[in-house]
Amino acid sequence: MWDSLLCLFPSLLLFLVAVLLHWSPVRVLLERSLRWATWILWRAACWVLELPTPMRGERNDGLSDADNAQPRLVCKPTALAHHLLLHCHTLRRPLLAAWPQGDPHLQTLSSLLWPVEDTAGGKVHFTRDHLLLSDGGIVALDWAVGLKEEPLLGAKCEQHPGACRGVGCRSSPPILLFIPNCLGVVTPHLQRLCSLALHQGFYPVVFHRRGQGSCPLTTPRFQEFGDPQDLVQAVAYLRSRHPNTTLLAVSEGSGSGLLLSYLGECGSSSYLTAAACISPVLHGQLWFEMQLPSLYHWGALFYRKLQISRYANALSSLMDVGQLLGCRSLRGVEERMFCGTTKSATGEDRGPAEAAQDWEAYWERNEPLRDADEVAVPVLCLSSADDPLVPPASSLPTSLFRNSPYFLLALTTSGGHCGFAQAGKSTTSWSHEAVLEYFRVVSDFLKREERRKRSRAQGQEVGRQAQGSRPGNVAARERRRKAVLAVRRERHLTHQPAQSELTEDLFNWNRSYTR
């Protein structure tokens, strides 16, 4: 008898477990226990990897749990900001994932390392153009020509505009310029955004700095962190090649240093209609001087040294490559490469005081926001309070976003670095949907304001013509007609795009020339 009971005991135990699992309180208790056990194991792994581990539910930016449902929007109350709040639904109500999918480190590592082939969008195929610069340097433009299942989509739009009639596609699709991080890495996050942009009718093109992204280095120097001269020539090339197409730009991570420098350097003469920065680095010097988590720091430093070692022979004529490869921080590499701190004019090593002066002077000409008051196109910045790769949210220049009519900030409580995973969506990032919808809403707003101003100008012209129909005003009317023709002829020759300047309640499309 006891033998029979012992034989039936495993089956009875499994039956009892199955019954208990169907009981709702037991199932909920078991799920909570598993989540807590997983959370403890993850904290232990972060401790071993020296990664910061905020407590579950902790808010690093001072926002309460009630504010977690929507991002904190920081901007000046303008007509454009009001229009975005009304029509950009993705920006107002993000459904960001909770832990564990919403863990900042898991999101960051996923955006940097997760294979694109495993996503629904598929891998993007690119074709490359090399652009010869005025100083003999070369930069690359990678045009997205199609997806794995839809080859040559972008090429059809460019070569046969009339044949492009797919869903979300238009005869002259807007060009979306992608600027990778300062290391030049085209991350899976950037490729997924390219894939979604192609699906929605944009024409993506990725900008590669000299010596990055397999672009040859023909001059013995790399591009400084915030030097926009190469990008200025690349954007001018895009305008000359597509004169009637809307130009947009989006940066990833530290690539915002280049994009914001370009917008500030060009001012109202920029060819871009709008721009966006995902997980931007707004303070370049602070970013290089902060202590990154070891896992990310050594990975970025190793990749940077690989780039330098590839062109060691060319760079050795201007700098000590051995000392560069021996640096143990990104700041050390940047300082020795661009600040001239290796040797002085007499051939002796520079002192700490001279090195510090060179470092400060370097950032006076390379800080992303050094010319922020000159920016004359709308710029959306998407940031996360738990981003492990940028300075804390308390260092964000919120006064700039509150006072400038062109800067808008959406600050979320979670999202990691270029992560922003959505609940129930494993392949689509909230930042991708928000940026693309932002570009559409801004373009529609600017077109509407342009039509409104044109109709107002026509009404004023009709009034002037009615007054000028009197005999005494014939000469004055002729002078005004000649002045209008001269202005139109000048605009036709210069090919300047429509530019905007915010007034009290309306965009004024006669932007003052600032550069």
List, by residue number, the catalytic residues: 387, 417
d(CA 363, CA 319): 20
d(CA 362, CA 359): 5
Cβ partners under 8 Å of residue 301, min gap 6: 327, 328, 329, 330, 333
d(CA 289, CA 283): 10
The answer to whether the beta carbons of residues 345 and 373 sit under 8 Å apart is no
The answer to whether the beta carbons of residues 410 and 382 sit under 8 Å apart is yes
User: Strand ranges (DSSP E) for 215-282?
Assistant: 247-252, 274-278
Q: Quote the DSSP letter at residue 394.
A: G
d(CA 150, CA 199): 10
Buried b / exposed e over 23-40, threshold 16 CB at 10 Å, is eeeeeeeeeeeeeeeebe
Give the count of beta carbons closer than 10 Å to the beta carbon of residue 172.
14
Cβ partners under 8 Å of residue 404, min gap 6: 76, 372, 373, 375
For residues 153, 155, 156 and 157, what is the CA-based torsion angle, rounded to 10 degrees? 90
Alpha carbon 230 to chain centroid distance? 18
The answer to whether the beta carbons of residues 237 and 131 sit under 8 Å apart is yes
> For the chain, how are helix, strand and coil distributed in percent, rounded to 5?
50, 15, 35
Work out whether strand 507-508 and strand 501-502 pair parallel, antiparallel, or are unpaired. antiparallel
User: Strand ranges (DSSP E) for 413-453?
Assistant: 421-422, 425-429
CB-count burial class (<10 Å; 0-12, 13-18, 19+) for 450: middle
CA end-to-end distance (rounded Å), the chain? 97
Alpha carbon 68 to chain centroid distance? 22
